[in-house]
């Protein structure tokens, strides 16, 4: 089979090229002849139209002339004068059309003389009517001179129009003949082209079948890989959510341990110091001073424990609600960082996990502002709509290019994952020198 492919390809390709060349030649010759015939038809149509227009203009001039002769109203001279001016222009146009054709030019010259005589006859009667020579113009009107001129104009116009019609018929016959020849030639060349194309198809069919099989195989592999990627992505998302939940559980457990165990120890130590202070009051000034310092240290430790516990698992969420917790978070961060924080918070009916998501989002955003933004002001807003809430944290810091944030930015990635796991959408908007805005849209429980 491979041995026969080279001779068949060697025959089919030159045959296709030859068929294409002959087809182009036939098409070009047909186009030239059709163009010439169409030009002759168009010229004949223009000639016929100009002749008909000339007849109409002569009739309009005669109508205006007779109206003026019979009524003496100068208004009839307006169509008469307009028609005579157009007649001269139309005669010039016809002369240009007939100039290439000697025989028809002679016929046109005869028509032009008849028109000139008709115009002279009408002009004479109009001038006599203007001069008040009643008998003269009436005599001219009653004679058959005008009719004779008009009949001569009609006869000569009919001859010229017949010549134009004959030209149109010849052009149409030429176009029909050209189309017929082109039709036969195209049919023959199409058969030759189909033969060459059939021979070519037989050589390419095996290649196409092989290509299709390879494409199907690649598509199956691609679908399999895409399925694996989707499964791995879903597994990673589930794992990330699980790790996040485990982290929150560990935070809650650690917060309870610190609150219960360490809190009890610090409180007991503070009570023991208070008892020692009461027993040693006034006896040992140096010991009393040390006990005061120890009490202050224990108070600082208790406050630090409380702050760590709140960071690990904010108890205010379950006791005071989301809005109060965000207010407390904003005030404490404002005291620690020195930033001016403005809050605009509306009450939202959210579940415990969604409240924790919003709280962690605001907490992480404030942490990033304190570390990187170099801002002096920040705003926290929470707005409640019909089916969703909108949470925004913005600052007036130095900003950054969002497109330059790499995969190593775990803070933004963690916030995005947390929001998307809750069914929401996170948007980060920032420009260098214009601050940063972090927006999250979370659905309300139905």
> How high is the pLDDT of residue 248?
60
pLDDT, tens digit (0-9, with 9 covering 90-100), for 166-208: 777 777 777 788 778 777 877 777 777 777 777 777 777 777 8
Would you place residue 392 in the very low, low, confident or very high pLDDT band (cuts 50, 70, 90)?
very high
> How high is the pLDDT of residue 1?
41
Mean pLDDT of 296-313: 73
pLDDT top residue among 99 and 316: 99
Asked if the model's pLDDT at residue 314 lies above 90, the reply is no
Asked if the model's pLDDT at residue 96 lies above 80, the reply is yes
> How high is the pLDDT of residue 286?
73
Asked if the model's pLDDT at residue 92 lies above 50, the reply is yes
> How high is the pLDDT of residue 5?
44
User: What is the 3 state secondary structure string of the chain?
Assistant: CHHHHHHHHHHHHHHHHHHHHHHHHHHHHHHHHHHHHHHHHHHHHHHHHHHHHHHHHHHHHHHHHHHHHHHCCHHHHHHHHHHHHHHHHHHHHHHHHHCCCHHHHHHHHHHHHHHHHHHHHHHHHHHHHHHCCHHHHHHHHHCCHHHHHHHHHHHHHHHHHHHHHHHHHHHHHHHHHHHHHHHHHHHHHHHHHHHHHHHHHHHHHHHHHHHHHHHHHHHHHHHHHHHHHHHHHHHHHHHHHHHHHHHHHHHHHHHHHHHHHHHHHHHHHHHHHHHHHHHCCCCCHHHHHHHHHHHHHHHHHHHHHHHHHHHHCCCHHHHCCHHHHHHHHHHHHHHHHCCEEEEEECCCCCCHHHHHHHHHHHHHHHHHHHHHHCCCEEEEEEEECCCEEEEEEEECCCCCCHHHCCCCCHHHHHHHHHHHHCCCEEEEEECCCCCEEEEEEEECCC
> How high is the pLDDT of residue 189?
73
pLDDT, tens digit (0-9, with 9 covering 90-100), for 110-158: 878 888 887 887 887 788 887 777 776 777 666 666 777 777 777 877 7
Mean pLDDT of 97-109: 78
> How high is the pLDDT of residue 338?
87
pTM for the structure as a whole: 0.43
């Amino acid at each position: 089979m491979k041995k026969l492919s080279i001779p068949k390809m060697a025959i089919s390709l030159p045959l296709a090229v030859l068929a294409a060349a002959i087809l182009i030649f036939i098409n070009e010759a047909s186009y030239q002849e059709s163009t010439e015939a169409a030009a002759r038809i168009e010229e004949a149509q223009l000639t016929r139209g100009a002749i008909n227009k000339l007849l109409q203009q002569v009739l309009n001039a005669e109508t205006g002339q007779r109206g003026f002769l019979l009524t003496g109203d100068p208004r009839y001279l307006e169509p008469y004068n307009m028609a005579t001016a157009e007649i001269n222009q139309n005669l010039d146009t016809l002369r240009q059309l007939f100039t290439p054709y000697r025989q028809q030019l002679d016929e046109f010259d005869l028509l032009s003389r008849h028109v000139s005589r008709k115009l002279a006859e009408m002009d004479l009667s109009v001038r006599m009517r203007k001069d008040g020579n009643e008998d003269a113009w009436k005599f001219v009107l009653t004679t058959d001179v005008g009719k004779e001129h008009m009949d001569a104009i009609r006869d000569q116009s009919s001859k010229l129009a017949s010549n134009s019609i004959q030209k149109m018929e010849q052009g149409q016959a030429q176009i029909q003949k050209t189309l017929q020849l082109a039709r036969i030639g195209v049919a023959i060349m199409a058969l030759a082209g189909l033969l060459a194309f059939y021979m070519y198809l037989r050589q390419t069919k095996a290649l196409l079948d092989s290509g299709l099989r390879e494409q199907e195989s690649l598509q199956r592999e691609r679908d399999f890989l895409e399925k694996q990627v989707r499964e791995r992505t879903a597994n990673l998302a589930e794992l990330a959510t699980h790790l996040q939940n485990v982290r929150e559980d560990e935070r809650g457990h650690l917060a309870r341990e610190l609150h219960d165990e360490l809190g009890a120890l610090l409180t007991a130590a503070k009570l023991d110091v208070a008892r020692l202070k009461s027993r040693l009051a006034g006896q040992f000034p140096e010991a009393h001073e040390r006990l005061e310092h120890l009490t202050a240290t224990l108070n600082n430790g208790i406050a630090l424990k409380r702050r760590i516990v709140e960071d690990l698992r904010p108890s205010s969420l379950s006791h005071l609600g989301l809005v109060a917790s965000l207010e407390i978070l904003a005030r404490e961060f404002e005291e620690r960082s020195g930033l001016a924080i403005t809050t605009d918070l509306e009450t939202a009916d959210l579940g415990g996990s969604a409240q924790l998501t919003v709280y962690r989002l605001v907490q992480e955003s404030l942490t990033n502002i304190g570390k990187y933004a170099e801002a002096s002001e920040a705003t926290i807003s929470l707005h409640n709509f019909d089916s969703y809430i909108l949470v925004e944290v913005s600052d007036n810091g130095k900003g950054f290019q969002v497109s330059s944030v790499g995969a190593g930015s775990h803070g933004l990635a963690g916030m995005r994952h947390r929001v998307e796991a809750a069914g929401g959408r996170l948007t980060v908007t920032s420009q260098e020198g214009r601050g940063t805005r972090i927006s999250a849209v979370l659905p309300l429980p139905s």
